[in-house]
Structure 1
Amino acid sequence: MSWWRSRRRSVCWSSCCTTRSGSSCSGGRNEGGRGLISFRYHLVSIVAVFLAVALGILVGATVVKQSVIDNLTTRAGDAVKLSNELRSELALWQKFGTQSRHLLVGNELASQSFVIVTAQGVSLAYVDGVVGVLRDAGGSVSAIVSATSAIAANDAPTTARLAQLLSDPAGTAPGQLMMDAGRAIANRLITGPQADDDFLLNLTGGGFLSVRLEDAKQVAEVGGGTQAVVVLSGSTANAVVPPQQLFIPMLETLAASNHPTAAGETLQSTYPFVTLARRDRRIDGSIVSVDDADTLPGQVALAIGLHELVINKRGGDFGVKSGASSLLPGT
């Protein structure tokens, strides 16, 4: 029992002791005189550890990020250098192709005359490229006939003027007017001008067509049985004149008359034209179609294909898109 009494006389918890005479605290020191670590010091230590870890992560991330940036900068520089080299090489091949094009097409189209039909929004550089290859092959181009946006207009005054020129009933739908215009233009190019009334001149005067004379001296010399027709469409922008409503009926009329005709489209066109013609049984097989006519292979295919059509009465579909039989005729 003496042991129990001594334990009751003095019980110490942390820095405070309880005895029979009362309680006392040592003010931060235990009975052995050693100092205790307060919570404030624990908190400071923990915060310091977290700050050190955060600083290490920040420094490490900065070093890694800079190395990644340096690597990407180097790779980007290499890519730009390679791109410039490829551009230079491509420009060289394009120059070579343009200057040697006449050797590829020879005199395939000697003494043959053509009319180019196109529409507003189609690249002039593309059209001029086709004109160039036809001339390189020995042919001539009487004129470039281009449909304007007015022929696809929906407003009443414009459609009324077009209906009058076509002798269509008043109130004819704009889409039907375009199809009728396509057929009427085709008939004018097949037969040539009438002595007293030239439909091409009437449409030009009404703002529905523009005619750029090339080898012809006047519009009256454009068209007729001796002039083959090349219809060109395609663009990376939306079509100003929908080819399915103007050019497809035109091709159908030309094909029905066995008039020598070709249809060309740009390689990157965002809207179809040549592929529509290839699906049309009234057209396919009767004309030459080229779906990459803005490229050197397409231009060469157009010239050789037209030779086969004019001389051997044999059409064909060339290029890289749906319905093409080969890149070039005879391959």
Structure 2
Amino acid sequence: MIDFRYHLVSIVAIFLALAVGIVLGTTLLQEPAVKSAQELTAQLTKTKEELRAQIDTLQGREAGNDAFISAVTPELVAGDLAGQRVLLIETPGSNTAWREAAQQVLDQAGAEVTGRVTFTEKFLDPKGTGVLDGLVNQLKPVNMVFPETATSWGRAAALLGASLVTNDTAQAGTPNTTTADVVGAFEAGGLLTVDGDPAKRATLAVMFAPERPYEGGSAETQAGALVSVADGFDAASKGTVLAGIAATTVTPGDVITALRDEGEVSKRVTGVDTADMPLGPVAIVYSLQEQLSGRAGQYGNGKGASGPIPAEAAPTPSPTTESGS
């Protein structure tokens, strides 16, 4: 019978042998292992320095490009939107700096910004669709009919669009007879705020997506809701642009991605994903021009973009004369 002392001696012997092996192995392999580690460290350090230099170069080029775009923007957009009236729409989580930069360039393009509508988080709350539907049913004109597939936000956007924008140039600058009641009710319900005089209807709209994708269980629903809102304003106006930034990863709460995934809507509403760059406001102006001609596109650097700006808006090189002619 094997007793406890035998077990104890066996265990001690095993650990002693293991310890001796480790010591011998470390002693024999110490110099090659250290040398290998030193070589790897040196290589990694060199690679890091090379990548750092590449990043510095790219950042320098980007800064130079941005400075150039900023300098020539007034010339690039001068008069492009003369006579047009533009409504600005901010969403929960959108960046005020993007809107301010776009507003400045719209002014340089000759457009008149009628005002700003800012939707609240309450407007996007999926639990509040009953309140939204109730308001719409109470305020909509009797002749306003919604598509069967329209969401609560789509119906609300159709009503608000009819109140704040128009596709009839003759009606631009004038309020709809129901505007005051509609906007007042939505304000009283804590669903939006207004700035300026958006009741004097615009012909175009620019909507700013959240700076970061929405998160949580309602993220996809909220992103889709804003796509529906953009589509509603587009239908009521001469065109709408949804501006934001390109998502670095695929996420259901990203509004620009949601727009581009909506095949039919993306054919009507233009998406610009460079709102945080000097090129963004220029792309917005050119996209509004394209909307006025009845076309839409997806522009920027992110997935689904066909190019940085509409192709037909790209500056055309001046013709050259061959020497000797």
Superposition TM-score tier, normalisation by shorter sequence: 0.5 to 0.7
2:181 matched residue in structure 1: 198
| 1:28-54: CA deviation from partner (whole Å, max 9, x where unpaired) | xxxxxxxxxxxxxxxxxxx99996664
Task: Check the 8 A contact 2:299/2:308 in 1, yes or no.
Answer: yes
Residue of structure 1 equivalent to 2:283: 301
Deviations 1:278-303, CA, capped at 9 Å, x for gaps = x227x735x54445444444432321
Match in the other structure for 2:264 = 280
Give the corresponding residue for 1:233: 209
1:22-101 correspondence to structure 2 within 5 Å: 54-101=26-73
Is the contact between residue 69 and residue 279 of structure 2 (CA under 8 Å) also seen in structure 1? no
Distance 1:69 1:250, change over 3 A: closer
| Residue 151 (structure 2) pairs with residue 185 (structure 1) | no
Higher relative CO (Cα under 8 Å, sequence separation at least 6) belongs to 2
The reply to whether residue 328 of structure 1 matches residue 305 of structure 2 is no
Q: Secondary structure at the match of 2:87?
A: strand
Name the TM-score, length of structure 1 as normaliser.
0.65
Shift of 1:115: 0.4
Which whole-Å deviations, capped at 9, do the CAs of 1:192-239 have from their partners, x for residues lacking one?
Answer: 35478432232123211122x3xx3xxxx3144444222232544226
Give the TM-score taking structure 2 as reference length. 0.66
The SS at the match of 2:207 is: strand
SS at match of 1:198: helix
Kindly indicate whether the alpha-carbon contact (under 8 Å) linking 1:182 and 1:247 is maintained by their aligned counterparts in 2: no
* Residue 248, structure 1, aligned to residue 228, structure 2: yes
Q: Structure 1's 185 and 246: CA in aligned 2 closer, same or farther, altered over 3 A?
A: farther
- Aligned-partner Cα distance in 1 for 2:54–2:40: 21
1:207 aligns with 2:182: no
Q: Is the Cα–Cα contact under 8 Å of residues 234 and 273 in structure 1 kept in the other structure?
A: no
- Aligned pair in 2 of structure 1 residues 57, 300: CA closer, same or farther (>3 Å)? same
Q: What is the alpha-carbon distance in structure 1 between the residues aligned to residue 119 and residue 30 of structure 2? A: 65
Distance across 2 between alignment mates of 1:112 and 1:48: 86
**Structure 2 Cα separation of the partners of residues 325 and 77 of structure 1:** 32
- Larger strand percent: 1
How far apart in 2 are the matches of 1:63 and 1:207? 68
Superposed CA offset, 1:28-83 (max 9, x none): xxxxxxxxxxxxxxxxxxx9999666413112211221232233223323433432
Q: What CA distance in whole angstroms lies between the structure 1 residues aligned with 2:279 and 2:43? A: 40
Partner Cα distance (2:107, 2:184) in 1: 26
Shift of 1:94: 1.7
Match of 2:242 among 261, 264, 269: 264
Q: Give the unaligned 5+ runs of structure 1.
A: 1-46, 170-174
Q: Unaligned stretches of 5+ in structure 2?
A: 1-18, 140-149, 167-174, 315-325
Residues 306/329 of structure 1: CA separation in 2 closer, same or farther (3 Å cut):
farther
Shift of residue 253, structure 1, vs aligned partner:
5.9
**Counterpart of 1:115 in 2: which secondary structure?**
strand
Q: Root-mean-square deviation (CA), in Å?
A: 3.6
Write the distance in 2 (CA, Å) between the matches of 1:292 and 1:49: 61
Match of 1:132 in 2: 104
SS of residue in 1 equivalent to 2:213: coil
Residues 264-273 or 290-299, more deviating: 290-299
Q: Structure 2: which amino acid aligns with 1:263?
A: V
Q: Cα gap change, 1:266/1:49 in structure 2, threshold over 3 Å: closer, same or farther?
A: closer
Is the Cα contact below 8 Å between 1:112 and 1:227 reproduced in 2?
Answer: yes
Q: Which has the larger radius of gyration?
A: 1
CA distance in 2, matches of 1:52, 1:264: 68
Whole-Å Cα distance in 2 between the matches of residues 229 and 122 of structure 1?
Answer: 15
Deviations 1:94-127 (A, max 9, x none): 2222232112112211232210123101222333
User: 2:115 pairs with 132, 140, 143, which one?
Assistant: 143
- Percent identical pairs in the alignment equals 17
Q: Which amino acid aligns with 1:228?
A: L
Measure how far apart 1:327 and its partner are: 3.7
Counterpart of 2:27 in 1: which secondary structure? helix
Structure 2 residue 88 is matched with structure 1 residue 122: no
In 2, Cα distance between the equivalents of 1:326 and 1:90? 14
- Contact residue 154 and residue 231 of structure 2 kept, 8 A: no
**Contact 1:263/1:274, CA 8 A, preserved across alignment:** no
Amino acid at match of 1:316: A
CA deviations 1:239-259 (Å, max 9, x no partner) are 66724334425524642x4x2
Per-residue CA distance 1:165-204 (angstroms, 9 max, x = gap) = 32369xxxxx943232222211111363547843223212
